[in-house]
Amino acid sequence: MMRIILLIATVVLLVLASACSSAGATPGAVPSSAPPTSLPPTAPPPTSTPLPTPTPRPTNTPRPTNTPRPTAIPTPVPEPWTLTGSGDSVVDLGQPCLLAVAHITGNTDSDFFTVTNYDANGESIDLLVNTLDPYDGYRPLDWLDRQCTAMFEVQAVGPWTIEILPYARFWANTAWHLSVPGVLEGNGDTILVLDGEPRRATITGNEVGDFFAVFAWSERGPDLLVNEIDPYTGTVLVGKNTFGLEIQAIGPWTISLE
């Protein structure tokens, strides 16, 4: 009996509680569900920045190599040769532009005798011989720049000869050498090769009172030491780097070098 009363009381309390709950609710209102809270955006993982590529250092451009000069093939020195003739003549040298010494003979009858050298264009280079006396002498041939003998013109009565001595052959003949210090006696037109460098020269010559000249030769060309038409004795200075002397004379002469 008691359990039934407790059961009825429990039901009544449930009904009353349900009624109170319905009376407090707003009619027609639909309970709204709260919007979902948005999560903060997730930051993307940092991307790795590529390291800068190192700029390659400039490479040194190799210097151009010097092209080696071609090896000069030595030209053999020709042997001396002789041109001969009689009377007025024009003769080719045979080997133009040759540094040489011309040994000229002629005019045995003491008549008019001249020898002139010309280039290939017919331009005169030098009057090598001009005499009325018998002649036997030595003259330089093409010792100056731009001289290039191609032919000789000879004016003569009777036979003559022109012997061409390449300078290397002439230089090798010690008969034409004069040592420094030293003394040499000679006669007529002559060329001397000097062994050493003289500072001064004492010169005597031209006893007959004719033309007398002495030249000192160096790489600069000829330097006139003596130029006389009277008998001569004197001492003159000789320039540096003189390698030879050229004497133009009639008759004997003496040269002393120191």
Return the domain boundaries, the chain. 81-170, 175-257
* Tokens encoding 135: 């002649």
Q: Is the peptide bond before 181 cis (omega within 30 degrees of 0)?
A: yes
pLDDT for residue 13 is more than 90: no
Could you say which of 1.10.10.10, 3.40.47.10, 3.40.50.1370, 2.60.120.1050 is the CATH number of the domain covering 175-257?
Answer: 2.60.120.1050
Per DSSP, the three-state class of 253 is: strand
Digit-coded pLDDT (tens) for 85-116: 999 999 999 887 889 999 999 999 999 999 99
Which DSSP category does 88 fall into? Answer: S
The pLDDT value given to residue 19:
46
Q: What is the mean predicted confidence (pLDDT) over 24-51? A: 49
Q: Please, is 154 exposed, middle or buried when counting C-beta atoms within 10 Å of its C-beta (0-12, 13-18, 19+)?
A: buried
Query: Is this structure's pTM higher than 0.75?
Result: no
Ranked by mean pLDDT, which of 10-14, 38-42, 247-251 comes out on top?
A: 247-251
For the chain, give the mean pLDDT: 81
> What is the percentage of the chain residues whose pLDDT exceeds 70?
71
User: Among 28-32, 80-84, 204-208, where is mean pLDDT lowest?
Assistant: 28-32
The reported pLDDT for the residue numbered 174 is 86
- What CATH number belongs to 81-170? 2.60.120
- Does the structure show a pLDDT above 80 at 46? no
